[in-house]
C-alpha cells in the first residue's frame, strides 16, 4: 500500500481521508475498499515511464473487473486486455472503447470470437493454429478483416509461482518459437486476417527484469524473421506480469522496466502494448474483516475472522503472503496468531504466524488485495460475496453491494419449484 494514501493517524488506519474503522462500522465486513488516488497514481506513473515510446496500456481486466474500476480506467484513456465474453461486456458496460480491447486467452470459444468481432475490438492475441482458422471463418462470415497478433511462447522461466508462470514450453500458453513463422505464412493466405502484432505474457508477479529482457529479445528475433518474409507488424505486446512488493520482495522499478524495453525497441517502428493488471491495482485495495473469535490452543493462537478463502483466495491457492494490519492499533503485548476464516478447510487462512495486538471484535485490513482479490472470490460454503467500496478523498462509494441470501438462491429457487411441481 502507498504510505501517502494508506496510513495510521493517531493509531487509526485511513485510506485517503476515510477512517477505516468508521467505514467498517458503517458498511459492514468483509468488504473490499479501494483507493481511487492510488489507482490513478499507478496509471500516471506507468504512462510517464513509457512516455518517450508510442505505447498503449491495456489494463488486464481479470485483476479487478468491477464496473466502476473499469470506468475509472476507461476515463483515464486505458485500453483493456480481456479473456472472456464476460470481460468484454463488462468493459463495454463500463464505457470502455471496444477499439482499445485486446482479446487474449488460450480457449476463446466460437461465440466469444463472434461477439468480439461484432463489438469491433482492436485485436485478438492468437494462441493456436486452430484458433486462427476459427477466427478466419467467423471473420469471413461477417465479411470483416480482423486484426490479430500471435502470442509467442518464448520458453522462458519467469521465476514466479508455478501456477502463474506462463512462458515455459510446458505451459499451455502461446505458440512455440519454431511454429511462429510457418503459421505467419499461412496467415498470408487468409484474406480476412491482418497480422498486426506479436505478443508475449510470460507470467505474473515477476520481480526481476532478466526474464522480461530475454523474452523481448526472442520477440524481436521473431519481428526480424517476419520482416524477412514481408510481414512488418505494427505492435509489440509485452503482456503483463510486473511484480509488486507484498512482503520482502524487491521488484524492479517501473522506470527501469521502461528503460530496458525502450532500449530494446528503439530502432523498431512499433507501438508498444502493455497488459498490466496487478501493478495497477494490487496496492489500491484492502479487505476489511472483523475478528469473530480468538481461539487459543496448546499449539497455536487463532484469530478467526469473518473473511475467508472464498473472499481472498491467494493465500490458500499460492501460499501468498498478504500483509495484515489492525485497523486500530493497540498498545499491548503482541502475540503470534494464524489469521483464519470460517470455511471448512484448513487451507482457509489469510495469514500465518503474525505478531498482532488484537481483541475479539477488532477489525483487520488485509493489504494489497486490489488485484486478484474480489475477482477470484466465490460463494464457496454458500457465503455471500463481500461488498466493494471506492474511496475518493473524503467520499465513500459502494461500487458493489454485499450479496444477500436472495442473490445466493436466485439461480436455483425457481428451478427447485419447477422440480417439485413435476414430482407432485
Residue 108 or 136 with smaller CB distance to ligand LLP? 108
Strand 324-326 relative to strand 301-305, pairing: unpaired
310 phi-psi bin (left φ>0, alpha ψ -120 to 50, beta other): alpha
Distance, in Å, from the CA atom of 14 to the CA atom of 286, rounded to the nearest integer, reads 11
Residue 221 neighbours by CB under 8 Å, 6+ apart: none
User: Whole-number minimum distance, CB 244 to ligand LLP, in Å?
Assistant: 9
Q: Kindly state the cell numbers that stand for 143.
A: 465479411
User: Whole-number minimum distance, CB 49 to ligand LLP, in Å?
Assistant: 15
Residue 154 or 239 with smaller CB distance to ligand LLP? 239
Decide: helix, strand or coil at residue 349.
Answer: strand
User: Whole-number minimum distance, CB 402 to ligand LLP, in Å?
Assistant: 22
Distance, in Å, from the CA atom of 257 to the CA atom of 60, rounded to the nearest integer, reads 18
Minimal CB distance to ligand LLP: which residue?
240
Q: Kindly state the cell numbers that stand for 318.
A: 499460492
Residue 67 neighbours by CB under 8 Å, 6+ apart: 90, 93, 94, 399
Cis upstream peptide for 30 (omega within 30°): yes
- To the query of whether residue 27 is one of the catalytic residues in this protein, the response is no
User: Whole-number minimum distance, CB 83 to ligand LLP, in Å?
Assistant: 7
Residue 244 or 396 with smaller CB distance to ligand LLP? 244
Residue 30 or 315 with smaller CB distance to ligand LLP? 315
Distance, in Å, from the CA atom of 324 to the CA atom of 245, rounded to the nearest integer, reads 14
User: Whole-number minimum distance, CB 205 to ligand LLP, in Å?
Assistant: 5
Distance, in Å, from the CA atom of 357 to the CA atom of 374, rounded to the nearest integer, reads 27
Q: Yes or no: say if 11 and 328 are a contact pair by the CB < 8 Å rule.
A: yes
State CA 194 to chain mean position distance. Answer: 28
Q: At what angle do helices 36-49 and 254-265 cross, to 10 degrees?
A: 30
Q: Yes or no: say if 239 and 199 are a contact pair by the CB < 8 Å rule.
A: yes
- How many residues does the structure list for the chain? 424
- Binding site residues, ligand LLP, CB under 6 A: 60, 63, 81, 104, 164, 201, 204-205, 239-242, 275-279, 314, 318, 371-372, 376
Q: Yes or no: say if 87 and 375 are a contact pair by the CB < 8 Å rule.
A: no
CA distances from 210 to 33, 46, 176, 358 (A): 34, 19, 20, 42
Residue 284 or 371 with smaller CB distance to ligand LLP? 371
Residue 62 or 363 with smaller CB distance to ligand LLP? 62
Distance, in Å, from the CA atom of 395 to the CA atom of 17, rounded to the nearest integer, reads 8
User: Whole-number minimum distance, CB 395 to ligand LLP, in Å?
Assistant: 28
Residue 196 or 376 with smaller CB distance to ligand LLP? 376
Q: One of 27, 31, 58, 344 is an active-site residue; which one?
A: 344
DSSP 47: H
Distance, in Å, from the CA atom of 101 to the CA atom of 82, rounded to the nearest integer, reads 7
Decide: helix, strand or coil at residue 281.
Answer: helix
Residue 126 or 327 with smaller CB distance to ligand LLP? 126
The residues that are catalytic are 344
Amino acid at each position: 500500500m502507498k504510505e501517502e494514501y494508506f496510513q495510521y493517524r493517531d493509531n487509526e488506519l485511513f485510506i485517503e481521508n476515510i477512517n477505516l474503522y468508521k467505514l467498517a462500522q458503517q458498511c459492514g465486513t468483509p468488504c473490499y475498499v479501494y483507493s481511487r488516488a492510488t489507482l490513478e497514481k499507478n496509471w500516471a506513473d506507468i504512462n510517464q515511464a513509457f512516455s518517450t515510446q508510442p505505447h498503449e496500456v491495456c489494463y488486464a481486466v481479470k485483476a479487478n473487473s468491477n464496473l466502476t474500476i473499469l470506468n475509472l480506467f476507461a476515463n483515464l484513456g486505458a485500453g483493456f486486455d480481456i479473456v472472456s465474453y464476460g470481460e468484454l461486456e463488462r468493459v463495454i458496460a463500463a464505457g470502455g472503447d471496444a477499439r482499445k480491447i485486446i482479446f487474449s486467452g488460450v480457449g476463446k470459444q466460437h461465440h466469444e470470437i463472434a461477439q468480439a468481432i461484432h463489438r469491433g475490438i482492436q485485436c485478438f492475441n492468437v494462441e493456436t493454429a486452430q484458433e486462427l482458422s476459427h477466427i478466419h471463418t467467423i471473420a469471413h462470415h461477417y465479411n470483416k478483416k480482423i486484426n490479430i497478433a500471435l502470442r509467442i511462447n518464448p520458453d522462458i522461466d519467469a521465476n514466479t509461482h508455478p501456477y502463474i508462470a506462463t512462458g515455459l514450453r510446458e505451459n499451455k500458453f502461446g505458440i512455440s518459437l519454431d511454429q511462429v513463422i510457418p503459421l505467419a505464412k499461412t496467415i498470408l493466405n487468409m484474406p480476412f486476417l491482418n497480422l498486426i502484432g506479436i505478443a508475449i505474457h510470460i507470467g505474473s508477479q515477476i520481480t526481476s527484469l532478466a526474464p522480461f529482457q530475454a523474452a523481448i529479445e526472442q520477440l524481436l528475433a521473431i519481428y526480424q524473421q517476419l520482416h524477412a518474409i514481408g510481414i512488418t507488424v505494427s505492435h509489440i505486446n509485452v503482456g503483463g506480469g510486473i511484480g509488486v512488493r507484498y512482503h520482502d520482495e524487491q521488484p524492479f522499478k517501473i522506470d527501469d522496466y521502461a528503460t530496458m524495453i525502450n532500449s530494446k525497441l528503439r530502432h523498431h517502428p512499433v507501438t508498444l502494448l502493455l497488459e498490466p493488471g496487478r501493478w495497477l491495482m494490487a496496492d489500491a485495495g484492502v479487505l476489511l474483516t472483523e475478528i469473530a473469535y480468538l481461539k487459543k490452543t496448546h499449539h497455536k493462537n487463532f484469530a478467526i475472522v469473518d473473511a475467508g478463502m472464498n473472499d481472498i483466495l491467494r493465500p490458500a491457492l499460492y501460499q501468498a503472503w498478504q500483509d495484515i494490519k489492525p485497523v486500530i492499533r493497540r498498545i499491548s503485548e503482541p502475540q503470534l496468531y494464524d489469521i483464519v476464516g470460517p470455511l471448512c478447510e484448513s487451507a482457509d487462512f489469510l495469514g500465518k504466524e503474525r505478531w498482532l495486538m488484537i481483541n475479539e471484535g477488532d477489525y483487520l485490513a488485509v493489504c494489497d488485495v486490489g488485484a486478484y482479490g474480489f475477482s477470484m472470490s466465490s460463494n464457496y460454503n454458500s457465503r455471500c460475496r463481500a461488498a466493494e467500496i471506492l474511496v475518493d478523498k473524503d467520499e465513500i462509494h459502494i461500487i458493489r453491494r454485499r450479496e444477500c441470501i436472495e442473490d445466493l438462491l436466485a439461480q436455483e429457487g425457481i428451478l427447485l419449484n419447477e422440480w417439485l411441481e413435476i414430482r407432485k
